[in-house]
Structure 1
């Protein structure tokens, strides 16, 4: 890929699919979850399985390829892009699941994992497995998830287990959909169709093979994709969502600004602001995709990303998200009251972007 000519997100999603997804966005917001027809498209395109091996019915894309699609889907619709990103990210955990469990979970066409990274549960060691109690917020895709993942502190004989440095040991677990209690409590100004609800389990007993560790040293699938560090993987996938929504916002600004009939200075200023925003975001995307390309090439070649490259990935991811948000906010005052209308497309994009950008990894 020519880093100096990053294509517009529209180049990675069929125009007919874009139109179909967007035509259902308002209805999806009302129901609080993705529309069945949107989900049908996602499953047909295998977007939840961007990072899943082909033998498990996945696309098995490289990280740069997947980021292009995630950015594009966020450009199409914020809720769709965010849900695909978070759920495909959870499906990426297949690389860390024991093979016998992976075969059970991924033995169907429609597989979607949802979950939470916050360690707000406790797993008590029992004979043959664990007894788990916990409550986790913001499980994007919960309405249609087939399984859930969650992080827990580990307890043995009434004591929280700690590492040599004194920090509490945290491990990840997988629950079946019928094992969790769902709470329909997602209530934010944006990302309304992501069904990012809470879930809980109470004294749930599960076998030992439901526990997994998200670390390159604990993979069960020998592929570079599962050697890429999770923190930078997560930062990058979230950042492209904010960027994709920002590009959508700018695209919607164009006809608004062109249709202005106010004084000439106002029109010229708004159009100049838009042109400058597009140019700045273009350069920031180029910088971001360059560090992603370099880090991925190292991972694909040597099965490891050199430690000195990781800070650059984190830095560029956060800067891409911050720049996207800032540029949108600079354009917003020129958009008129249509941008404050809860039922307008540009307002939905603004609400989605400012909800998603609250994620702590982007700070």
Structure 2
């Protein structure tokens, strides 16, 4: 437990307002800064609090149990620490050392970059940049145009670009029915010159190569992070449902379904953390994660998400019309869970 019950109550009292405003309160942002949750994967000498993956996932889960928007933003913000190893050391030091340093951005290569002297001219628009309003830096991927006279190849270079907040335009277009407080808006730039030093490739490590977390494969890392958020929100949903059932005095079959859901969640979490711990132990022992280890983590993450989605839907469908009201906690947590589980990395494989 990283929150007292009083802190949980205080944060949840702010949840309706954060949902309507589409952003975390300053109080919660300051809580994140004080605990350095955005820096769970940032090296210690950059004012980070470098953590193992199992430890970080428990923080993601617990923050998400308290409030879905809080958990998602902590998780996404912490994940940006991965880039500290890919940036040139002097750039990473300048960008991550600040106590409020946090990345927002998008992995989709929906921008274009043209090579010019000492850098690139960049244009594009990128969706789903969670935490755009409080980000101190943005990262976005672009397809680098082929040199003049050359045909664009199928294996065009994809390069990541670093923008400062004053260089981007934020488009307030995050209008999903869940995770409203995350402010996951689009950003754009147009004909922006970006010097070479403010770019990086995902295949080139420039610093901190001995940090174990940077050796963990990124896809299962991201899947595990998002699955931890889903598990935390599912736990909050169960709490909210228990309170709802007690007040509404629902029938015994609804109570039984809640108990089944709580037992299912407990088993799912146990299997999830066991898989993550095994993978981390393998990384510690061998310095890398095997293909079989990667597959096991991915499968466990997808299984955990499908399990909690099915369980919460079955319970939600028994709660009655009051549960459909957007201002009820049980409704908000259900919507947050649905939204998290729509992330492409958590969707079932074909």
Q: Name the TM-score class by shorter chain.
A: over 0.9
Structure 2: any 5+ residue segments left out of the alignment? none
Q: Which residue of structure 1 lines up, in the alignment, with residue 51 of structure 2?
A: 61
Alpha carbons 1:180, 1:201 under 8 Å: kept: yes
Q: Which residue of structure 2 lines up, in the alignment, with residue 310 of structure 1?
A: 294
Alpha carbons 2:238, 2:258 under 8 Å: kept: yes
Q: Quick one: distance in 1 between partners of 2:151 and 2:71? A: 37
Instruction: State yes or no: 1:74 paired with 2:60.
Output: no
Q: Quick one: distance in 2 between partners of 1:89 and 1:122? A: 24
Q: Quick one: distance in 2 between partners of 1:261 and 1:298? A: 49
Alpha-carbon distance change, 147 to 29 in structure 1, aligned in 2, over 3 angstroms: same
Q: Which residue of structure 2 lines up, in the alignment, with residue 276 of structure 1?
A: 260
Alignment partner of 1:343: what SS?
Answer: coil
Q: Quick one: distance in 1 between partners of 2:344 and 2:151? A: 26
| 1:176-195 → structure 2 map (5 Å cutoff) | 176-195=164-183
Deviations 1:85-126 (A, max 9, x none): 111111321121111101110231111110001110112111
Q: Which residue of structure 1 lines up, in the alignment, with residue 205 of structure 2?
A: 218
| 1:80-95 → structure 2 map (5 Å cutoff) | 80-95=70-85
Number of residue pairs aligned between Structure 1 and Structure 2? 345
Deviations 1:202-247 (A, max 9, x none): 11111112222234x5251121110101111111101111111111
Q: Quick one: distance in 2 between partners of 1:27 and 1:312? A: 40
Q: Which residue of structure 1 lines up, in the alignment, with residue 217 of structure 2?
A: 229
Structure 1: any 5+ residue segments left out of the alignment? 1-10
Deviation at 1:306, TM superposition (A): 1.4
Q: Which residue of structure 2 lines up, in the alignment, with residue 29 of structure 1?
A: 19
Deviation at 1:167, TM superposition (A): 3.0
Deviations 1:36-63 (A, max 9, x none): 1111111111111111111111110100
Alpha-carbon distance change, 339 to 357 in structure 1, aligned in 2, over 3 angstroms: same
Deviation at 1:257, TM superposition (A): 2.2
TM-score, scaled relative to structure 2: 0.94
Q: Quick one: distance in 1 between partners of 2:224 and 2:249? A: 40
| 1:162-177 → structure 2 map (5 Å cutoff) | 162=153, 166-177=154-165
Deviation at 1:74, TM superposition (A): 0.8
| 1:78-227 → structure 2 map (5 Å cutoff) | 78-158=68-148, 162=153, 166-215=154-203, 218-221=205-208, 222-227=210-215
Q: Once superposed, what is the RMSD of the aligned Cα atoms?
A: 1.6
Alpha carbons 1:160, 1:168 under 8 Å: kept: no
Q: Quick one: distance in 1 between partners of 2:44 and 2:159? A: 27
Instruction: State yes or no: 1:359 paired with 2:343.
Output: yes
Deviations 1:292-318 (A, max 9, x none): 111111212332111211111111111
Alpha-carbon distance change, 232 to 268 in structure 1, aligned in 2, over 3 angstroms: same
Q: Which residue of structure 2 lines up, in the alignment, with residue 348 of structure 1?
A: 332
Q: Which residue of structure 2 lines up, in the alignment, with residue 7 of structure 1?
A: none
Q: Which residue of structure 1 lines up, in the alignment, with residue 38 of structure 2?
A: 48
Alignment partner of 1:119: what SS?
Answer: strand
Alpha-carbon distance change, 160 to 124 in structure 1, aligned in 2, over 3 angstroms: farther
Q: Quick one: distance in 1 between partners of 2:22 and 2:146? A: 39
Q: Quick one: distance in 1 between partners of 2:50 and 2:9? A: 26
> Paired residue for 2:273, among 284, 289, 298?
289
Alpha-carbon distance change, 160 to 79 in structure 1, aligned in 2, over 3 angstroms: farther
